[in-house]
Structure 1
Amino acid sequence: MQDENGISFFGALWNGLVWFIQNIAEAFYNFGYAITHPQLWLDWSDKESIMRFVYYGGSVEFFFVVFTLFLVLTAIGLYYRNFMWGIVRGLEGFANTTGRFFAWAGLLMVVQQIIIVFMQRVFARPDMSFGLGIPLQMDISWYAEELKLYNAMVVCLCCTYTFVQGGHVRVDLIYAGISHRAKRVVDMLGAMLFMMPLAVITWMYGWYFMWRHLIVPKPSASDTLDKLVLKSRALRWNIETIGFSPNGFNGYFLFKILLIGFAAMVFLHAIAFLYRSYLEYVEGPESVGKYLDKDSLGEGEEAYEGAH
């Protein structure tokens, strides 16, 4: 009985390994086919194309295309170190640019809140109107609830920017006392075991969660491609416009889109963090912070930097 269990275990392990390698090999074909036939999934005038896009965005095939691309870039980067540094600089630059832009949502949130207080308490108005030519006139409660969208933008789209700048709160028990190379090993393990899996899981759950609030019939993660293509016959856009209050903010589908953007940016920065940690491990302590574009408060303010 024990021998049979051992055989079945190793048989399952072998089948899993074959499946894994087979999917990596097929990723090259799937990527090439998607690039050479964009009309099959990008022509959204065709309902079947929309359903194909929905399916592949959360599919095993898409995961292995991304994973295989990561393996290829890593292999090239291990051979050409400057190439890996270029990826790090590009991904960190993307995180910084995106974060610096959407950080202004925090100021916009404060300004809008001040306007809301003035309109309610001073002018006693039930609504507000903004716009040039085509005004956006909504109840004040709509603008008050919209503040949550600005907050979500800061959280989702400035997360990796804050990581690059070293602004996340960390509970350090042993990290500060270990050697340079040990720190880099911890960073690499953290990127591979925590950041990447978390981003993938968030994407897989968030992808269908987002589309269920954009179209009907509602897609499911368990639906096959053939089933989704069959559903496309009855497909229509049904964007969520239900608020928590009668006159409140009704664009909550935007939060689902931000969740997907958050997952994508965390995954991309996990790659950048993994590559940077490896390069700093190989090149030694003198490479710490190499090419790192950190914000500065200006000359004479160095003592306050990093105090947040």
Structure 2
Amino acid sequence: MLDFILWVATGIVRSFWHMAYALTHPGQWLDWSNGESLVRFIYYGASSELFFVVLTLFAILTGVGLWRNSIMWGTVRGLEAFANGVGRVAAWAGLLMVLQQIVIVFAQRIFAQAELGFGFGSTVSFDISWWSEELKLYNAIVVTLCCAYTFVQGGHVRVDLIYAPISHRAKRIVDMCGALLFMMPVAVLLWIYSWYFMWRHLVTPKVSASDQLDLMLRKASIIRWNVETIGFSPNGFNGYFLFKVLLVVFTAMVFLQAVAFFYRSLLELKEGPSSAGKYHDPDVASAAAH
């Protein structure tokens, strides 16, 4: 237990140095034309160093927010506006998916076309099977980019056994515990998995979460971009690396929404029942339903 406490304390203290160094030396991790810079970006993107930087920033922002509630409310409004904005735009992918499926059915069954082209002036033309498999991408966009948005809107299915009848104060405590003990840890674990899962399909030689920085730096001279372009069928969709990118974005958005939900619950606990739903931006249909 003492070793764990020392590890956490050391990580938090060092996080200030790591954050300052990263901000003052961007070329060492953002210059992706350089193999060593790319390797550092991959390694630190899911490292304990990044974890402690995020933890320290979260602790500082929480402390400042408790001192000035307006700052914490501003964080909540900003993160919820971000989730709402991304979700409302991404939701249109559902309509595109339906329209494209209709076009595919007509082209395949009525006009007996083997290829299909879209565009104005210069068209993008692929085999029908490519467009059919590409529909999965629209579905993935809706699922990953609208998840945080749906959470903000209160649209997820909930099995409520004890939550509804309890008091405002008890609800806020339950919400805070849920965000801090479940949403955030799960998002961190998903990030570690999805980060390396994405990069294993973008570069070669493949990287792993178990690789140490020294080993990865030795690979820097031979590391190359190797974006996955293999489909499940000969003429099928070949952009499956985009699914891995969406998984990383999804995880980041869930974590940010967990922070927003924790702060909202904390503020509503502190300010009382009159603050419930403060600055909430519900959709028209959602507001009418409630």
Q: Place the TM-score, normalised by the shorter chain, in its bin.
A: over 0.9
In structure 2, the residue matched to 1:64 is: 52
Match of 2:237 in 1: 249
Structure 2 distance, partners of 1:17, 1:59, is: 18
1:50 matched residue in structure 2? 38
Name the larger-Rg structure.
Answer: 1
| 1:297 match: secondary structure | helix
Q: How far apart are residue 59 of structure 1 and its match?
A: 0.5
Shift in Å at residue 133 of structure 1?
3.8
1:99 equivalent among 87, 110, 134: 87
The equivalent of 2:200 in structure 1 is 212
Give the C-alpha shift of residue 45 in structure 1. Answer: 1.2
Deviation at 1:122, TM superposition (A): 1.1
Question: Residue 138 of structure 1 corresponds to which residue in structure 2?
Answer: 126
Cα separation, 2, equivalents of 1:237 and 1:31: 27
1:270 aligns with 2:258: yes
Name the structure 2 match of 1:289. 277
**Amino acid aligned to 1:146:** E
Q: Deviations over 1:206-257 (max 9, x none)?
A: 1011000000011111111111111011111111111111111111100000
Match of 2:179 among 182, 191, 195: 191
Report 1:1-308 matches (<5 A).
13-297=1-285, 302=288, 305-306=289-290
For residues 209 and 79 of structure 2, what CA distance do their matches in structure 1 show? Answer: 30
TM-fit CA distance, 1:131: 2.2
Residues of 1 paired with 2:98 and 2:276: CA distance? 37
Between 155-164 and 132-141, the greater mean CA deviation after superposition: 132-141
Deviations 1:152-204 (A, max 9, x none): 00110010100111111111111001111001111000001111011000000
Show structure 1 runs of 4+ deviating over 3 A: none
Deviation at 1:291, TM superposition (A): 0.3
Q: Percent same amino acid at aligned positions?
A: 63
Residue 135 of structure 1: how far off its partner (Å): 2.2
Residue 297 of structure 1: how far off its partner (Å): 3.4
Q: Quote the Cα distance in structure 1 between the aligned partners of 2:113 and 2:201.
A: 33
RMSD: 1.1
> How does the TM-score come out when normalised to structure 2?
0.98
Moved more, 31-40 or 243-252: 243-252
Quote the Cα distance in structure 2 between the aligned partners of 1:225 and 1:96. 37
Residue 3 of structure 1 aligns with which residue?
none
Q: TM-score, normalised by structure 1?
A: 0.92
Q: Which amino acid aligns with 1:55?
A: Y
| Cα distance in 1 between the residues matched to 2:285 and 2:255 | 29
Aligned-residue offset at 1:60: 0.5
In structure 1, distance between residues paired with 2:119 and 2:284: 35
- Give the corresponding residue for 1:4: none
Q: Which amino acid aligns with 1:40?
A: Q
